């Protein structure tokens, strides 16, 4: 099977590529390398280097590679950027995806697996958040992610382009960006390994649903043959407080450093975790990696990649 992974040199996308290649698929990657790295790609995977906002580039990539399935991970993923520069967020996440869908329908792609986000739900009205929860995004990022879901429905109805939407909880694991607005696991891990005190915003009792990147990649692979026309949460169904997360990382890293408590960030959601029942039913998928195991794998990766021999 020929599969194109957009954003395939990035954090989540590279794990999808890795699992696809290990399973015998012929894989190519479309990526502008703005956040991804060639080092993340396994041998034998072709890279089409360019911007998803470039309509001609996207069309020519699909015409050349002729994938049967497209796994769409490429995105502007920073919530703060979506607030500061909503036009850029929309250009990448909405307009870029339209270019991709147009190219898909013109080149005979059978299915698109789309990486959406729990950000579409906004501040939860109830917990756990299931797929019937009202969509109430609090930033442009959630708006742009949800907008694409509607385009997918239209392209399926008009052109027969199948899809599965995967709404990710808080994904963590090796290769995640630990700078700027990176995920909290990556940020905490990097600072603890460098002997620096991380900042916990608010009282640290806010909760999130942390799902390991390898499990998220497995959900994408499961969606290639299952979950037609469905919108599915990809999560553990369990809530973990930021304080508990930090204590686990202290234990795993062996660090005695204490966190600094900083003022709460405006707009931060207090509690969030997602029901994963429909993913189990429709994909035969569930998260297999418990939090402690996932954190150990993550710390091991950062410890190696932050060593003087690796980081210079």
Q: Which residues pair with 170 in a beta bridge?
A: 210
Dihedral over Cα of 243, 246, 252, 254: its sign: negative
202 contacts 264 by C-beta, under 8 angstroms: yes
Residue with tokens 């150990």: 296
6 contacts 115 by C-beta, under 8 angstroms: no
The one catalytic residue among 48, 114, 121, 141: 141
Q: Which residues pair with 241 in a beta bridge?
A: 207
Whether 163 is a known active-site residue: answer no
List active site positions: 141
């Amino acid at each position: 099977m020929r599969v194109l992974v957009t954003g395939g040199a990035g954090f989540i996308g590279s794990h999808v590529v890795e699992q696809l290649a290990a399973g015998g698929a012929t894989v190519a990657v479309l990526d502008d390398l703005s956040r991804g790295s060639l080092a993340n790609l396994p041998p034998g995977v072709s890279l089409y280097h360019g911007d998803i906002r470039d309509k001609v580039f996207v069309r020519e990539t699909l015409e050349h590679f002729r994938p049967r399935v497209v796994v769409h991970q490429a995105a502007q993923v920073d919530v703060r950027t979506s607030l500061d520069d909503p036009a850029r967020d929309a250009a990448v996440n909405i307009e870029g995806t339209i270019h991709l869908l147009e190219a898909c329908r013109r080149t005979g792609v059978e299915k698109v697996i789309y990486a959406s986000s729990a950000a579409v739900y906004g501040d939860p009205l109830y917990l756990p958040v299931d797929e019937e929860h009202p969509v109430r995004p609090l930033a442009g990022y959630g708006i742009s992610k949800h907008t694409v879901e509607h385009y997918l429905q239209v392209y399926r109805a008009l052109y027969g382009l199948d899809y599965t939407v995967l709404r990710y909880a808080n994904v963590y694991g090796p290769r995640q960006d630990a700078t700027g607005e990176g995920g909290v696991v990556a940020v905490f891990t990097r600072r603890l390994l460098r002997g620096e005190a991380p900042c916990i915003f608010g009282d640290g009792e806010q909760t999130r649903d942390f799902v390991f990147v390898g499990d998220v990649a497995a959900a994408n692979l499961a969606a290639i043959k299952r979950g037609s026309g469905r919108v599915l949460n990809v999560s553990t169904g369990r809530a973990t407080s930021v304080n508990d997360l930090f204590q686990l990382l202290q234990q795993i890293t062996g660090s005695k450093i204490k966190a600094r408590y900083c003022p709460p960030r405006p707009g931060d959601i207090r509690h969030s975790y997602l029901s994963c029942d429909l993913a189990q039913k429709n994909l035969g998928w569930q998260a297999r990696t418990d939090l402690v195991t996932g954190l150990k794998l993550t710390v091991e990766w950062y410890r190696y990649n932050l060593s003087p021999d690796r980081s210079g």
